[in-house]
Amino acid sequence: MELLPELYAIFQGEVATVTEYGAFIKIPGCRKQGLVHRTHMSSCRVDKPSEIVDVGDKVWVKLIRKEIKDDKLKLSLSMKVVNQGTGKDLDPNNVSLERRRRKRSTRISSSLGQTQTAMGLSQPARGASILGSPARLRRRRKRSTRRSPGIEWAGRWGAGMASPWCTPRGASTTDSAHPLLQGPGVSF
């Protein structure tokens, strides 16, 4: 029987394979591998895991979840809660991991519109509504039709007019009569 690390244990593993969704890490002392999903590689957004790690790299990881699915043990790992230089735990009380788990479970339950109470009865989730309700559709439309700052900015300067903040120093804009472009000491 292989000895697996305890939950929330930190160890240094070697990158076995890199995929588009993450990297598989060899766990020392056993034949198992764990997945570091690309969302757990860094606190910044990671689009390509191959830009972060390569096969054979040694990385510090934290075991954040053990799951048995289809009679297989799946291990989830995280690199972003461990200092990659020293191996020090950046989240010793697992606060950020717990917050992420709660946020994810809330999102799932509200999309289903149901949660389980302590007595096992179903009730509508807080903030959940029927997927096709007219009020929800109005909220979506309202959110999607809000003006973005870029549109407002273009309207403020007019079509074909250059913004003084985007004009290189020494160059002039197409509208020199603009109040921001007049006066002593103003040069762009």
Q: Same structural domain for residues 72 and 131? A: no
What's the CATH code of the domain at 56? 2.40.50.140
Query: 29-38, 118-127, 134-143, 178-187 — which one is most confidently predicted on average?
Result: 29-38
Instruction: Determine the Cα–Cα distance for residues 56 and 48; give it in Å rounded to an integer.
Output: 17
Q: Judge whether 68 lies within some domain.
A: yes
Q: What percent of the chain has pLDDT over 90?
A: 41
Q: Same structural domain for residues 87 and 101? A: no
Q: Same structural domain for residues 23 and 61? A: yes
Q: Same structural domain for residues 19 and 88? A: yes
Q: Domain boundary residue among 75, 92, 109?
A: 92
Instruction: Determine the Cα–Cα distance for residues 164 and 127; give it in Å rounded to an integer.
Output: 45
Instruction: Tell me: pLDDT of 156 over 50.
Output: no
Mean of pLDDT over the chain: 74
pTM: 0.55
Q: Judge whether 172 lies within some domain.
A: no
Instruction: Tell me: pLDDT of 168 over 60.
Output: no
H or E element that contains 134:
helix 134-145
For residue 100, the model assigns a pLDDT of 77
Residues 99-153 pLDDT 10s: 877 887 776 555 555 444 333 444 445 555 445 566 666 776 666 555 555 444 4
Q: Same structural domain for residues 66 and 106? A: no
Q: Same structural domain for residues 34 and 67? A: yes
Query: Between residues 88 and 101, which one has the greater pLDDT?
Result: 88
Burial of 162 (0-12, 13-18, 19+ CB in 10 A): middle
Instruction: Tell me: pLDDT of 88 over 70.
Output: yes
Instruction: Tell me: pLDDT of 45 over 90.
Output: yes
Q: Judge whether 134 lies within some domain.
A: yes
Q: Same structural domain for residues 71 and 142? A: no
Q: Domain boundary residue among 47, 74, 92?
A: 92
What range defines the domain where residue 47 resides? 10-92
Q: Same structural domain for residues 25 and 77? A: yes
Q: Same structural domain for residues 155 and 85? A: no
Q: Domain boundary residue among 92, 110, 137?
A: 92
Residues 57-81 pLDDT 10s: 999 999 999 999 899 999 999 999 9
Total count of domains within the chain? 2
Instruction: Tell me: pLDDT of 4 over 50.
Output: yes
Q: Same structural domain for residues 131 and 76? A: no
